[in-house]
Chain A
Amino acid sequence: MTSLPASTEKKLGLVIDLDICVGCHACVVNCKEWNTGGYGAPLGDIDAYGSNPSGAWLNRIHTFEITPEDAPAQIVHFPKSCLHCDDAPCVTVCPTGASYKRSEDGIVLVDEDMCIGCGLCAWACPYGAREMDPVENVMKKCTLCVDRIYNENLEEVDRVPACVRTCPAEARHFGDFADPQSDVSKMVKERRGIDLMPEMETNPINKYLPPRPKSAPTNDKRPRNVETDSSPAPGSFLDWVDRMLEKI
């Protein structure tokens, strides 16, 4: 079971648009909310309302600063969850068969009743996509909301992962990467979607769309420097006041 399928019929996953994400953490919160009542054991917390809270989350948002050589720095909010890799190293290291990748849709899941909580899968993942539940002591990870996407009791519009459904900026998209005509495949092609740490040879399914190029500010449109640019125009009234006050 912990051998990876040779290929999967579908390759379900997410596209995350780093140009659009505003870092509001709504996907993080809705992920926790849905998954604490959905597939498997609840997502546990320790000291949730105390001074040192800690708990299992399947999606977290980091914020990075990019400084180009010839332009001002820019901020990128960076949501990170399981990438459902084609060559998932977390699956093959599992000693019990609890970790597996589904041959029908490529989703990587943990059978929590079989998990011994050894943590080796979390060590094998370069992305930090797996977290041990502090209450149940089993490994938790993104299920791509497997209990939503096929759930016919939900309205069709809700049959997407909770993070995608809730994103107010529509920075997250869900679809089948095995189908070149799917929206996600087209987006990745058009915007040159990127893999995280390709050198780890995990072949992640989830893709990230890099921020669109910014127009470079020209010299005269450069933001005013308060220190050097704040002296009044020569010959003006304020310039006269400035000079008079200097003399006192």
Chain B
Amino acid sequence: MHPAISVIFFTVSSGAGFGLIFLICLGVQLPESGLPAFLVSLLAGGLAVIGLISSTFHLGHPERAWRAFSQWQSSWLSREGVLAVATLAAFAIYALLWTFTGNRVETLGLLVSLLAAATVFATAMIYAQLKTVPNWHVWLTPAVYLAFSFVSGLILAGMINAQGRILGIELPWLIFICVLGAWALKVAWWKRADRIGFSETGSDTGTATGLGSLGQVRLLERPHTGENYLTREMVHKIGRKHAMKLRLLALIAGCGIPMVLSAIAAFSSSGELPMALAVLSLAIGLFTERWLFFAEAKHAVSLYY
């Protein structure tokens, strides 16, 4: 699949934004109120909004994007749009109350957290629902999206307040464990992706043409000598050439370095700086991971080309 930069940026940035919103609204220890609270909220909401705006850049008609809110009953893409706007609107109220009164309303927070998680889930389902892309069509896809969104939010929270605790565990140690867990899920996702090809659906050129029962079927001639929308969008092959090197880069930048930095943060009095570096490193790792998510994915239509 064609790795569109706008969509890669969207999933990474919005994922981080909604992850931080999730944690803020669950009451993770952060500034009491006032300007610091406002800036933290702005960071979380800003990441989510910038991502969403970026996602409209890959549309043929961004000016009609508002129409995408209408089909939430059937379409995951529409659900994602509706949930994102609902999450941001509810979070805006939460953030304003927090900024001006210092009061972090628990019930509202719980609602926003649920909405944020549902938004990330809906984003992942846009891909996971597609039977045509076997790599994506699995429960592990939403699990990985949710895990990376949570970890991104967690490291951002650690950057703001490295002394914070969740369930009694210091943030750096929690980050250490969760980063490892998230990438373990991703490694499982990669292992499955390497194994399946089109085998889960049983599709091959024989079933694609319906001629498999007559003998070995292979493409003799494409319909046209040049490229077309389908070959550019779905028969993309660049990703597979350097996939292993890029996976290693993703693991080092996204998993190894953040884990080392969070361990350093745990033992230092001001853990915010290592956590800030961990945010940068995780971003590199996730951009690489997300690029591969698209570039490595094979689409059923490639059986015709």
Q: Compute how far the CA of A78 lies from the CA of B211 in the bound complex, rounded to whole angstroms.
A: 10
Q: Is the CB of A96 within 8 A of B68?
A: yes
Contact A93 B129 (CB under 8 A): yes
Q: Interface stretch among A130-138, A158-166, A170-178?
A: A130-138
Does A56 touch B at the CB level, under 8 Å? Answer: yes
Give the docked Cα–Cα distance between A119 and B77 (Å).
11
Asked if A68 and B133 sit within 8 Å, CB to CB, the answer is: no
In the complex, what's the smallest C-beta–C-beta distance from B169 to chain A, in angstroms?
40
Q: Give the distance in Å from the alpha carbon of A66 to the alpha carbon of B208 in the complex.
A: 13
Q: What are some 13 contacts across the A-B interface (CB < 8 A)? A: A1-B71, A54-B226, A60-B223, A60-B224, A89-B131, A95-B77, A116-B62, A119-B60, A126-B208, A127-B301, A127-B304, A196-B208, A210-B213
- Contact (A65, B226) CB under 8 Å given A93-B77, A138-B60, A199-B201: no
Classify chain A: how many residues form its interface, as a range: 35 or more
Closest beta carbon of chain B to A19's beta carbon, Å: 11
A197 to B60, Cβ gap below 8 A?
no
Please give 6 more A-B residue pairs, beta carbons under 8 A apart, in addition to A54-B226, A64-B211. A80-B223, A89-B132, A93-B129, A97-B70, A97-B71, A116-B68
Mark B108-139 against chain A: 1 for CB-CB distance below 8 A, else 0.
00000000000000000010011111000000
Q: Which residues of A contact B67 (CB under 8 A)?
A: 95-98, 114, 116
What is the total number of residues of chain B having a CB less than 8 Å from a CB of chain A? 59
- Interface flag for B245 (CB, 8 Å): no
User: With the chains together, A53 CA to B219 CA distance in Å?
Assistant: 22
- Complex contact B77–A118 (CB within 8 A): yes
A190 within 8 A of B: no
Contact surface of B with A, Cβ cutoff 8 Å: 1, 58-62, 64-65, 67-71, 73-78, 81, 126, 129-133, 201-203, 205, 207-211, 213-224, 226-230, 233-234, 299-301, 304-305
Contact A114 B223 (CB under 8 A): no
Nearest A residue to B214 by beta-carbon distance?
A66
A53, A93, A126: which contacts B76 (Cβ < 8 A)? A93
| Beta-carbon contact of A131 and B220 below 8 Å | no
The binding surface of chain A is classed by DSSP as loop
Beta-carbon contact of A94 and B132 below 8 Å: no
Minimum CB distance partner of B224 in chain A:
A60
Query: Is the CB–CB distance between B223 and A64 below 8 Å?
Result: no
> Contact: A66 with B301, CB < 8 Å?
no
Indicate if the CB atoms of A120 and B77 lie closer than 8 Å. Answer: yes
Contact partner of A200 (CB less than 8 A), chosen from B76, B203, B228, is B203
Query: Nearest A residue to B229 by beta-carbon distance?
Result: A131
Q: Find the A residue at minimum CB distance from B207.
A: A197
Q: Which residue of B lies closest to A1 (CB)?
A: B71
Contact A63 B221 (CB under 8 A): yes
**Does the CB pair B214–A68 fall under 8 Å?**
yes
Whether B210 contacts A208 by the Cβ 8 Å rule is yes
A149 within 8 A of B: no
Q: Distance in Å from the Cβ of B302 to the closest Cβ of chain A?
A: 9
Determine if A167 is an interface residue (Cβ-Cβ < 8 Å).
no
Interface pair B229/A134, CB less than 8 Å apart: yes
Chain A contacts of B75 at CB under 8 A?
2, 92-95
Who on chain B is nearest to A128 by CB? B301
